[in-house]
Amino acid sequence: MMRYNDIAENDYYKECLKKTGEYEKNRKFCRHDIKHFFDVARIAYIIALEENMDINKDIIYAAAILHDIGRYKEYENGISHEKASADIAKRILSECGYNEEDKEMIINAILAHRGEKKREGLSEILYRADKLSRDCVRCDAKEECYWNDDKKNKEIVY
Ligand SMILES: [Fe+2]
Ligand SMILES: [Fe+2]
């Protein structure tokens, strides 16, 4: 069985997801829930296949399902969620048997998933998949969304 199943079943992981879910219960904008995480994982994996990138599926899924896991800490005390997520991911990845090399790659991609940064490999596909996962066309909150119009997804790609 792929190791990312262990991540999804990890107690600390589930606890973090639940906390973010409580903060986002009434959120009308994009949520950071398990659906978003697996949307990102699948899109990132499709991109990797389409572009013949040599990145293990187990690594792609781990980065995707952990990239926003610390979101609740941003609600709690303003810590940027890429940093919070990276810290939480370190512990969970160790508990799930990812080695140091895997961990470093995943943590770097999580830390680089926001803002203007130079990205390549896993970091680049995680960033693209994260943006592509959002269904702006069918979103009820699109008029109020802080994303610029040119950033919004106007068609289904994946
Ligand atoms: Fe994020
Ligand atoms: Fe995200």
Q: Distance, CA 111 to ligand 1 centroid (Å)?
A: 9
Q: Distance, CA 98 to ligand 2 centroid (Å)?
A: 22
Taking the domains of the chain in order of start, what are their residue ranges? Answer: 4-132
Cα–Cα dist 143/102, whole Å: 40
Q: Which helix (H) or strand (E) holds 12?
A: helix 11-23
Task: Starting from the CA of residue 41, give the closest ligand.
Answer: 2
Task: Starting from the CA of residue 31, give the closest ligand.
Answer: 2
Predicted confidence (pLDDT) per residue in 120-140, tens digit: 999 999 999 999 999 888 888
Residue type, 126: L
Q: What is the pTM of this model?
A: 0.95
Cα–Cα dist 103/90, whole Å: 7
Predicted confidence (pLDDT) per residue in 6-22, tens digit: 999 999 999 999 999 99
pLDDT band at 50 (very low <50, low <70, confident <90, very high): very high
Mean per-residue pLDDT, 46-69 = 98
Q: Distance, CA 81 to ligand 1 centroid (Å)?
A: 7
Cα–Cα dist 150/29, whole Å: 17
Task: Starting from the CA of residue 44, give the closest ligand.
Answer: 2
Q: Distance, CA 69 to ligand 1 centroid (Å)?
A: 9
In CATH, which superfamily holds the domain spanning 4-132? Hypothetical protein af1432 (1.10.3210.10)
pLDDT band at 143 (very low <50, low <70, confident <90, very high): confident
Predicted confidence (pLDDT) per residue in 69-109, tens digit: 999 999 999 999 999 999 999 999 999 999 999 999 999 99
